[in-house]
């Protein structure tokens, strides 16, 4: 029997669907192997910060807002920040707003959401030595060409170290949950997420969530797994806010390093922070 083009296309679609179903239904590792995978990821997180070199990069943050029940996002400012990582600490300096250099003392742009800590804080909170996260197996998934083990986790309020604040008016420690994507061979984490939704009304925030994606970055002829993209989203009482971040231009930090943002925004970095 000869199939016409339409039938051939349908058959191809069926085959693709079956292949996708097979990937999703891949047998999970047994309990002992899950424990081994998690132990490798814990070891990786414990050593992550100390394994990183001192480096410079640029963080480009694109800000968006939408109505509480709307998916029509309005683009806000684009912030370009000079980021220095030295002795395990992050230091940021806002350099450009919408492509224009920032003058000292200038505070006239709209900044609805400011975040930091993408370099290790979330990893440490979820997988560090003091973590009380409860893990459950989710699935295998291919991400950036790598077959990764995906675990879901949750941290109750009693053991949480996630504290949210609304300026100086209110502060609360909240429970949170998320997922982590780990390399089964090394424990290296290629993606991590977290979401907090049971937030006290006094903070005027219903939900906050973070996703950080890592990839191999070459610094001084050596590869490191570093953040390349991150998204932070807030659901507030009256609107939604989202930051989309890119980390680019990674390079080794040296005593005389200079970060340049175009011909009119060249400035030497301040002395390195003390550890």
Ordered by start, the domain boundaries in the chain are 29-268
Q: How confident is the model at residue 180, as a pLDDT?
A: 97
Give 130-182 pLDDT, tens digit per residue.
889 999 999 999 999 999 999 999 999 998 888 887 766 788 889 999 999 99
Q: How confident is the model at residue 203 (pLDDT cuts 50, 70, 90)?
A: confident
How many angstroms separate the CA atoms of 41 and 43, rounded?
Answer: 5
Residue with tokens 């061979």: 185
Give the pLDDT confidence score for residue 257 in this predicted structure: 55
Quick: pLDDT tens for 212-233.
Answer: 999 999 999 999 999 999 999 9
| Mean pLDDT computed over 179-205 | 93
Q: Check pLDDT > 60 for residue 112.
A: no
Which residue's entry shows tokens 């989202």? 242
Nearest CA to 27 among 124, 131, 149?
149
Rounded percentage of the chain residues whose pLDDT exceeds 90: 57
Domain 29-268 belongs to what topology? outer membrane lipoprotein receptor (LolB), chain A (2.50.20)
Query: Which residues lie closer than 8 Å to 95 by C-beta, 6 or more apart?
Result: 58, 80, 81, 82, 101, 102, 259, 261, 265, 267
What whole-number distance in Å separates Cα of residue 126 and Cα of residue 134? 9
User: Residue 267 in contact with residue 258, Cβ under 8 Å?
Assistant: yes
Reply yes or no on whether the pLDDT at 262 is more than 50: no
* CA 36/CA 163 separation, integer angstroms: 30
Buried b (16+ CB within 10 A) or exposed e, 3-22: eeeeeeeeeeeeeeeeeeee
Structure tokens at 114: 């400011």
The residues facing 196 across adjacent strands are 208
pLDDT value, residue 163 = 82
Cβ atoms within 10 Å of 108's Cβ, excluding its own: 7
For the chain, the straight-line distance linking the first and the last C-alpha, in angstroms and rounded, comes to 74
Does residue 110 or residue 135 have the better pLDDT? 135
- pLDDT, position 88: 86
**At residue 19, does pLDDT exceed 50?**
no
CA distance 188 to 224: 11
Question: Does 52 score more than 90 pLDDT?
Answer: yes
Counts for the chain of helices (H) and strands (E), in that order: 3, 15
Q: What is the pLDDT of residue 7?
A: 40
CA distance readout (Å), 145 to 4, 31, 148, 190, 222: 35, 26, 9, 11, 20
């Amino acid at each position: 029997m000869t199939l016409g083009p339409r039938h051939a296309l349908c058959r191809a679609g069926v085959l693709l669907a079956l292949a996708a179903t097979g990937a999703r239904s891949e047998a999970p590792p047994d309990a002992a192997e899950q424990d081994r995978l998690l132990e490798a990821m814990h070891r990786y997180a414990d050593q992550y910060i100390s394994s990183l070199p001192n480096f410079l990069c640029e963080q480009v943050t694109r800000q968006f807002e939408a109505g509480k029940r709307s998916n029509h996002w309005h683009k806000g400012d684009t912030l370009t920040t000079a980021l220095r990582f030295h002795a395990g600490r992050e230091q940021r300096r806002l350099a450009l707003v919408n492509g224009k250099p920032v003058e000292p003392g200038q505070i006239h742009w709209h900044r609805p959401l400011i975040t930091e800590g993408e370099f290790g804080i979330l990893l440490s909170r979820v997988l560090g030595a003091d973590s009380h996260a409860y893990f459950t197996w989710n699935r295998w998934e291919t991400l950036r060409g790598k077959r990764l083990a995906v675990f879901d986790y949750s941290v109750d309020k009693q053991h949480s170290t996630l504290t949210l604040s609304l300026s100086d008016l209110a502060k609360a420690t909240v429970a949170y949950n998320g997922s982590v994507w780990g390399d089964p061979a090394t424990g290296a984490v290629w993606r991590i997420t977290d979401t907090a939704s049971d937030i006290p009304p006094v903070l005027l925030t219903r939900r906050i969530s973070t996703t950080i994606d890592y990839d191999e970055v070459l610094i001084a002829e050596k590869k490191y797994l570093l953040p390349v993209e991150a998204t932070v989203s807030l659901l507030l009482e009256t609107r939604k806010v989202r930051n989309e971040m890119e980390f680019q231009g990674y390079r080794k930090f040296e005593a005389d390093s200079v970060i340049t943002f175009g011909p009119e925004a060249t400035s030497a970095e301040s002395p390195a922070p003390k550890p």
